[in-house]
Amino acid sequence: MLHIVNKSSFERNSLKSCLNTIDDTSIILLIEDGVISAANNVNSYMLADLAADSRVFALQEDIDARGISSKVADNIKLVDYAGFVDLVVEQGTAVSWV
């Protein structure tokens, strides 16, 4: 299952709710303002363990647009839109935390 989070954890609770609901095989993709959660900040702990398990992805284009490419936290994998498509194809049902 692919969980897509598009809001900053400073603005909404969608990342928190998503984390409450994922199983051992789910992966998380951060897009739009969701990529703010991919940067090193006080909320990074929320994703650290999952990232260490290679289960957190962030959309490169959205990271670049927001000027935070040098701030990406450890172990977060970057994908482009083509990679986004691959994740949707490979990971089964997509859940958007809009």
Partner 1 sequence: MSTKKFIYLNRKAPYGTVYALESLEVVLIAAAFEQDVSLAFIDDGVYQIIKGQNTDGIGMKNFSKTYHALGDYDVNKIYVSAESLEERGLSVDDLMPLTYEDEDDDWAEKTSIKIISNVQLTKIMSEQDVCLSF
Partner 2 sequence: MKISIQINEGPYQHQASDSAYQFTKAAIAKGHEIFRVFFYHDGVDNASRFTVPPQDDRHIVNKWAELGIKNADGSDVELVVCVAAALRRGMLDESEASKNGIDGNNIHPAFRISGLGQLIEAGIQSDRLVVFGD
What does the binding site for partner 1 look like in residue numbers (CB under 8 A)?
A: 1, 13-14, 17, 20-23, 25-26, 93-98
Footprint on this chain of partner 2 (rule: CB under 8 A): 4, 6, 31-33, 61, 80-82, 84-86, 88-89, 93-94, 96, 98
By a kind-dependent CB cut-off of 5 to 8 A, residue 70 interacts, out of partner 1, partner 2, none, with none
Structure tokens at 1: 């299952």
By a kind-dependent CB cut-off of 5 to 8 A, residue 89 interacts, out of partner 2, partner 1, none, with partner 2
62 phi/psi in degrees, rounded to 5:
-75, -35
Residue 82 Cβ vs partner 2, minimum distance, rounded to whole Å: 5
C-alpha angle 42-63-49 in degrees, rounded to nearest 5: 45
Residue 23 Cβ vs partner 1, minimum distance, rounded to whole Å: 5
Nearest-angstrom CA–CA distance, 36 and 58: 9
